[in-house]
Amino acid sequence: MLIYSMGVSVDGFVADRAGAFGWTVPHEEQFRFHIAQTRELGGYLCGRRLYQTMLPWETDPSMRDNELGAAFADVWCAIPKVVFSRTLDSVQGNARLAEASVADEAAAALHATDKDVSIGGAGLAAAAIELGLVDELRMSAIRSSSVAARPSCRRSPKTFG
């Protein structure tokens, strides 16, 4: 199953007016829940911004300074990731650049595991949803509104294949 999971404000946004989403940092119980959900994944399709945001979990030792950080870093590092980008020439960690369309990469990721695969990044997810590839939406509402400017699943003029 291909899953789109995202924390959103109560009015449906994922980033504030400056493009940041620090306001979405989960409290301990939510973090444990997200670790458990992430542990169940067999792959992750990432847009460039999501990949760059999540890369410190694979490269920055300070992300492991506490029990939950270390647990998430272990889980995140173990997941194979496919990164969709028009600007990156290379990626680090347990990732590779997409070489095919979003439909083909999603099919390959699902075929490579007996677990669910997640997709992240609003534009990439929108493209996958438009293609009918996403089987499940998991939106976690965060008690914040009117702070945001980027919809959780915007219609993207970009083509991902």
Q: DSSP secondary-structure letter at 22? A: G
Q: What is the pTM of this model?
A: 0.83
Query: Could you give the percent of the chain with pLDDT greater than 90?
Result: 65
What pLDDT sits at residue 62?
Answer: 96
160 occurs within a structural domain: no
Tokens of 145: 């509104």
User: Are 106 and 117 contacting, i.e. CB atoms less than 8 angstroms apart?
Assistant: yes
Closest by Cα among 30, 114, 20 to 72: 30
pLDDT tens profile 133-150:
999 998 877 665 545 455
156 occurs within a structural domain: no
100 occurs within a structural domain: yes
Q: Stretch 38-59: mean pLDDT, rounded? A: 95
Q: Pick from 1-5, 149-153, 155-159 the range whose average pLDDT is largest.
A: 1-5
Whichever domain contains 9, its CATH number is 3.40.430.10
Residue 21 has pLDDT above 60, yes or no: no
82 occurs within a structural domain: yes
Confidence of residue 24 (pLDDT cuts 50, 70, 90): low
Q: Where are the beta strands (DSSP E) in 26-132?
A: 41-47, 81-84, 95-97, 116-120
Domain range holding 109? 2-151
98 occurs within a structural domain: yes
104 occurs within a structural domain: yes
161 occurs within a structural domain: no
Interhelix angle 67-78/28-39, nearest 10 degrees: 20
* Residue 136, H or E segment: strand 136-142
pLDDT tens profile 60-104:
999 999 999 999 999 999 999 999 999 999 999 999 999 999 999
What pLDDT sits at residue 10?
Answer: 73
What pLDDT sits at residue 66?
Answer: 95
Question: Total domain count for the chain?
Answer: 1
Q: Which residues pair with 118 in a beta bridge?
A: 3, 44
133 occurs within a structural domain: yes
